[in-house]
């Protein structure tokens, strides 16, 4: 796979919160080693690749492409063990996004049956099933699965798995501890690079804080929402961004301009150069990285500055939300 990013590297970028970068790597792998390519990946890796693509598409609200990728997973549903389980998990997420909670529950249950001892980071089927059961009106099943997931996450020692489990528990819990579950999730995740999960937890927490009507709750919720808003905008997570903006509206706050709204005016080449410049690379370093001339980099940057109405790298960093 010379010149092609590794599957593990791509998934690591998605989990860290760099969804745009991770999605680009996943699409490159799909083009060269997808199901219709001359050299497709082995089934377990192919299921992992397609499942990760479904996750990214749904995170961006791209249901049409998520469904298309889901169809590519259909032949893998009959795969043994973890292969079939990963395929069922992704198909379940697509079904849930379509509002077909019964089909989602079936897929999640099949995932658990095929790979009951799979690592939670690879197959968090209980959390997904708990949410689907809740939407299906089965609060008892949702609670049982969520509590089981939390206990298994605790044993695994994975901060990412534990934070995700606590988030699911907060969603299905009907008791007074929902805010505490999310505060614990934030504490567990501290120091772990997982920006998307952190933004999701912060948004959930902000929503619950607003329900308390406590005097200090609004200021706290606003701070959480601004942080989530920045990440969601930068990574084009439109469903999450929509939730954030609805909560901001309840607070009487206006949404801020996000990075993607600024970047939309740029071509793909200009966008690539702009991001690298905003991250602190010199023109010569950018040219070497992209295998182009320094003059080409300067030409792209001049167009970037003109389109964004700015005059320097410092302004570029501020516009794109990147700290140099």
pLDDT digit string (tens) for 216-233? 999 999 999 999 998 998
**Distance in angstroms (rounded) separating the CA atoms of residues 48 and 55:** 11
Q: Give yes or no for a contact between 307 and 300, defined as CB atoms under 8 angstroms apart.
A: no
- pLDDT of 1 reads 43
**Distance in angstroms (rounded) separating the CA atoms of residues 159 and 223:** 23
- pLDDT of 268 reads 82
- pLDDT of 243 reads 94
Q: Which residue has the tokens 């693509």?
A: 53
CA 86 to chain centre: 17
- pLDDT of 262 reads 62
pTM of the predicted structure, to 2 decimals: 0.80
Q: Which residues of the chain have pLDDT under 70?
A: 1-5, 257-265, 309, 318-324
- pLDDT of 116 reads 93
Q: Which residue has the tokens 């970028």?
A: 13
CB under 8 Å to 314, separation ≥6 — which residues? 324
pLDDT 10s digits, 262-293: 666 678 888 889 889 988 899 999 999 898 89
């Amino acid at each position: 796979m010379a010149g092609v990013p590794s599957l593990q590297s791509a998934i690591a970028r998605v989990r860290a919160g760099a969804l745009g970068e991770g999605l680009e790597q996943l699409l490159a792998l799909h083009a060269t080693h997808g199901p219709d390519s001359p050299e497709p990946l082995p089934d377990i890796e192919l299921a992992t690749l397609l499942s990760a693509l479904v996750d990214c598409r749904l995170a961006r609200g791209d249901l049409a492409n998520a469904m298309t990728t889901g169809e590519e997973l259909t032949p893998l549903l009959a795969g043994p063990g973890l292969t079939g389980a990963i395929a069922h998990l992704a198909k379940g997420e697509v079904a849930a996004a379509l509002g077909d909670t019964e089909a989602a529950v079936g897929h999640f249950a099949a995932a658990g049956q095929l790979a009951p001892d799979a690592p939670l980071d690879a197959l968090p089927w209980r959390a997904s099933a708990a949410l689907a059961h809740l939407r299906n009106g089965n609060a008892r099943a949702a609670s049982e699965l969520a509590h089981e997931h939390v206990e298994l996450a605790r044993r695994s020692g994975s901060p990412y798995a534990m934070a995700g489990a606590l988030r699911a528990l907060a969603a299905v819990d009907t008791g007074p501890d929902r805010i505490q579950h999310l505060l614990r999730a934030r504490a567990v995740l501290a120091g772990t690079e997982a920006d998307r999960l952190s933004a999701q937890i912060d948004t959930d927490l902000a929503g619950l804080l607003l329900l308390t009507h406590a005097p200090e709750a609004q200021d706290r919720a606003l701070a959480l929402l601004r942080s989530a808003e920045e990440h969601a905008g930068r990574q084009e997570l439109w469903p999450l961004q929509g939730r954030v903006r609805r909560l901001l509206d309840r607070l009487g706050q206006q949404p801020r301009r996000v990075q993607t709204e600024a970047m939309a005016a740029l071509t793909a080449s200009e966008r690539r150069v702009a991001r690298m410049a905003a991250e602190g690379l010199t023109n010569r370093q950018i040219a070497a990285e992209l295998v182009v001339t320094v003059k080409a980099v300067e030409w792209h940057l001049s167009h970037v500055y003109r389109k964004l109405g700015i005059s320097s790298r410092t302004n570029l960093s501020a516009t794109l939300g990147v700290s140099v």
